[in-house]
Chains A and B, each alone.
Chain A
């Protein structure tokens, strides 16, 4: 059955056309009706699942690809000694009394009332891909299915066909896909994020496909006419549903190319001093862009911030990267807060794991930190999360969870709760298996419970 190929039977940019396609495809292939049924059945399960209102409307995920060290960021251990702290031994106070963070995060220290820190995140896996999967899907690998990440799930339940109607795709990654990790899992490639490509810190941010350099609007229109006149195959097969589907995709693409929606990517519309404040680097400008996307109602944006896999030269890298993270994230929190958007926008910031608490001074690492999934930290803010709180703690040297373990399912489950997504909703599965967003209660899953203390 063809329908099984197409979970959700939807298009990444817009679900609206797919019903039309399904209808017109039905005449010729007999599958349209089935597809339509699928959409309806699926729609019902969603309607039943969605509560009348939810606090969070959008999510910004700041993904520290490679794994940032908890001790050097949000869970400093100044008393553990030089072998653990390296040169970063003087954490600073924040605007929340009793909460200290790394001395390289002074801007974030001024906004600690806006976010909460989880210092007892754990999954125990030290491999990049598996840990990325664990943190972003809250599923254990190995049962034969590859589950979708939070972004793909939000795109499914809050994207096209579920209330979102923007021309900008509902799930965006700035700027490159994570790779080594299939974000959409079995939901299929239509739920993969739209990767902008380009660099928002450049004077002209070229978003692949949306913003073309050096092609005037007139030429765009002329060559579209040319393309439409050289359509021998379409003329020969005027009612072919497959070609009809492609034509619909063309129309949508042109809405974005020729319309105003793409202007969301034009950071030149922002004031210079604000752009400075975010930091004139790829990460800082990505944070600014994420805010603009949230303003347009885009449900899920991932900032794929790489460079945290610091086996060697760890502290030099921290000196460079933490100020970037500090400025970008602090300004994002402040900016969203001033615009009244923080309460409806979840921000979460972490990598796939932490890093080995004890510095590897020996060769070949010469002051590096390895992968560490036993315990690490997550920053969460907005969208119904309270600020100024610390959840859980790690042991004296940041080696194990001391109290209140938080497992991926607790973190991700709380996101879904705030977004009004029932984590027991069914996911469309290509082989028709009956699977839910998160494991069912009572399943053999390590959990410390949802983050009730900060929601």
Chain B
């Protein structure tokens, strides 16, 4: 192979990745945008048509951090980041993707997202009650852990019968403010069809509501227990709410429900059938939205004729892939995560306003409330204490439980509220807000909550003041450890002079999942020289890094 094309490519890479902006080289990787998969073909062709220049592919350091956050809602540890960065294998990104999809945190993080949509909340206005919220959450989390095919997941939510304390998924019907058949139909449409039904004619709602008019909610002897089940008695079916509307699917086709048959099952058959235009597209779009920060139909729960997908071929492709893979959500995620489209840098190379809607770069997003506090805890080695305000039954939240694993939306904290955790009132994706506000900044910059985490951090202590002689340190060697021979002394002095450097590198890896640049090391050294004490310098450095945009944002 001639070296000239290689050289040209290399020069091109240097000029576009680093030449335009020296800071970009930390974040940008290769510039080769040859499609790696069908997703890339569809996205890049779309961008080309619109004359939008996509971003470069992101660097390894950006990738490792991004994929941990997106798949696990968890920051990579310094060790995990270092291992990935030093790994030489060409396929290391896809190997990491496979590994992360099998980690325990996967189920926790995605259960959090699903619990937002499915409104897992003990109290007002959902009022599931603590034990029911726990049962509901356990079912969701287990389904994700077992990677239950999505069509079965939906089906179980829609057709189960039993106690709200024991058959967790029956709480789907309880977790809606409006438990009339129409109210339930709206929840179902929002959750599984991604539509708010704006502009639906009344008859369509009535036809859909008829499938949910034979659900009974019966109390038992146990306080707050409720049996949710199909009620075959025809009186209920002809309830006054519907004025005898016959069940009809939202696509206009009539439904055949045999006397005594649970109409919810008939509806679920229709919903999850491959011919249904809504079902697989809605979920494929949600997964895309979750990973890329923006739906192909945006917002992801606003499918309607006058809000078309930005890239219809892409949405169709993803939906077909998913149904073809028997609704294996991990299959879809794997496809997306391995695409260059997902792996684009956040640094835009186009200022066209349509760039964002067509996925020309990875969009910056502030870390979600739960992910942010978990990351802060991980960095500092500290924990949060949560408790339920409902005295009976008392909900025990173990010390050190991660915030992404909180089962119940009613168990919360001022931090989570301040950083936009959704109230889980409606199941709308827009309930969650990741926008920055000044009071969030006040809290991170200057609250005792964060300051204490940093000052009392066992993790930082271990990085900067490990057991004498065993690692990096800002401090001096204890006298009794003074080395004897001149050679040994010289060696140790050399090591010693490297220690602060190593510690700062470790801190960068811990917080930002990357090594510091020489320039950054210089700035840090200057600051620590001027600081009244090493301890203060260390605390301030950690404080600065966790307050940086690079830490606060997915990028």
Question: A residues near B, CB below 8 A?
Answer: 1, 4-6, 11-14, 27-30, 127, 129-130, 132-133, 141-146, 169, 176-177, 179-182, 185-186, 188-190, 192, 194-195, 197, 206, 208-210, 212-213, 215, 219-220, 222-223, 226-227, 229-238, 240, 242-243, 245-246, 248-250, 252-254, 256-257, 430-431
Contacts and interface: CB of A to CB of B under 8 A. Distances in A.
Given A223-B543, A227-B548, A235-B21, A144 B186 contact: yes
Contacts of A4: 299, 430
A189 B418 contact: yes
A243 to B, nearest CB: 5
Nearest to B412: A179
B543 A431 contact: no
A141 B351 contact: no
A253 B446 contact: yes
Interface string B535-548: 01000110111011
Given A141-B125, A209-B439, A257-B442, A28 B353 contact: yes
Given A28-B353, A141-B177, A208-B442, 10 more contacts: A179-B389, A180-B124, A195-B414, A236-B21, A236-B24, A237-B364, A243-B549, A248-B438, A257-B445, A431-B198
B549 A141 contact: no
Contacts of A209: 439, 442-443, 445-447
B523 A229 contact: yes
Given A179-B412, A227-B547, A11 B437 contact: yes
Given A30-B354, A226-B523, A236-B26, A231 B548 contact: yes
B520 A230 contact: yes
A177 B412 CA distance: 11
Contact of B447 (A143, A177, A212): A212
Nearest to B530: A222
B446 A257 contact: yes
A34 B205 CA distance: 31
9 contacts: A4-B299, A29-B353, A182-B124, A190-B435, A212-B448, A243-B553, A246-B436, A252-B441, A253-B439
A430 B430 contact: yes
A261 to B, nearest CB: 12
Contact of A226 (B353, B410, B441, B541): B541
Nearest to A169: B439
Contact of A182 (B21, B351, B425, B531): B425
A222 B545 CA distance: 14
Interface of B: 21-24, 26-27, 123-125, 127, 177-178, 183, 186, 196, 198, 298-299, 346-348, 351, 353-354, 356, 364-366, 389, 410, 412, 414, 417-418, 420, 423, 425-426, 428, 430-431, 433, 435-443, 445-449, 451, 517, 520, 523-524, 527, 530-531, 536, 540-541, 543-545, 547-550, 552-553, 555
A442 B328 CA distance: 52
A188 B198 CA distance: 21
Contacts of B22: 235
Which among A5, A176, A188 has the greatest number of chain B C-beta atoms within 10 A?
Answer: A5
Contacts of A133: 124-125
A263 to B, nearest CB: 15
A246 B550 CA distance: 12
Contacts of B356: 29
A192 B436 CA distance: 14
A142 B418 CA distance: 25
B364 A212 contact: no
Given A4-B299, A129-B124, A249-B440, A230 B21 contact: no
A215 B446 CA distance: 9
B346 A237 contact: yes
A235 B531 CA distance: 25
A352 B541 CA distance: 47
B186 A213 contact: no
Contacts of A242: 364-366, 553
A235 B523 CA distance: 15
Given A141-B125, A233-B549, A253 B26 contact: no
9 pairs of A and B residues whose beta carbons are closest in the complex = A129-B124, A209-B442, A30-B353, A13-B438, A235-B23, A236-B23, A253-B441, A252-B438, A233-B550
Nearest to A234: B549
A6 B555 CA distance: 22
A356 B441 CA distance: 45
B125 A146 contact: yes
B523 A213 contact: no
B33 to A, nearest CB: 19
B165 to A, nearest CB: 19
A29 B354 CA distance: 7
Contact of A231 (B445, B448, B517, B549): B549
Contacts of A223: 540, 543-544
B360 to A, nearest CB: 12
A219 B418 CA distance: 26
A210 B417 CA distance: 18
B56 to A, nearest CB: 11
A11 B438 contact: yes
A222 B526 CA distance: 12
Contacts of B437: 11-13, 190, 249
Contacts of B547: 227
B427 to A, nearest CB: 10
B451 A253 contact: no
Nearest to B552: A246
A222 B346 CA distance: 30
Contacts of B543: 223, 227
Given A5-B433, A235-B21, A249-B441, A181 B124 contact: yes
A290 to B, nearest CB: 19
B199 to A, nearest CB: 12
A13 B418 CA distance: 12
B448 A143 contact: no
A28 B354 CA distance: 9
Contacts of B536: 219
Contacts of B527: 222, 226
Contact of B544 (A13, A208, A230): A230
A77 B451 CA distance: 52
B439 to A, nearest CB: 5
Nearest to A309: B391
A240 B524 CA distance: 26
Contact of A144 (B124, B354, B426, B448): B426
B349 to A, nearest CB: 11
Contacts of A248: 438
A240 B27 CA distance: 15
A143 B179 CA distance: 10
A14 to B, nearest CB: 6
A210 B178 contact: no
B446 A210 contact: yes
Nearest to B519: A232
B540 A219 contact: yes
B178 A226 contact: no
A13 B440 CA distance: 10
Given A29-B356, A236-B347, A253-B442, A143 B177 contact: yes
Contacts of B417: 177, 189, 192
Given A235-B21, A236-B26, A249-B436, A142 B177 contact: yes
Contacts of B346: 237
A106 B433 CA distance: 48
Contacts of A246: 366, 436, 441, 549, 552
B555 A233 contact: yes
A213 B452 CA distance: 10
A181 B364 CA distance: 31
B448 A13 contact: no
A245 B389 CA distance: 35
Contacts of A250: 441, 445
A223 B27 CA distance: 25
Contacts of A169: 439
A208 B178 contact: no
Contacts of A182: 124, 423, 425
Nearest to B20: A236
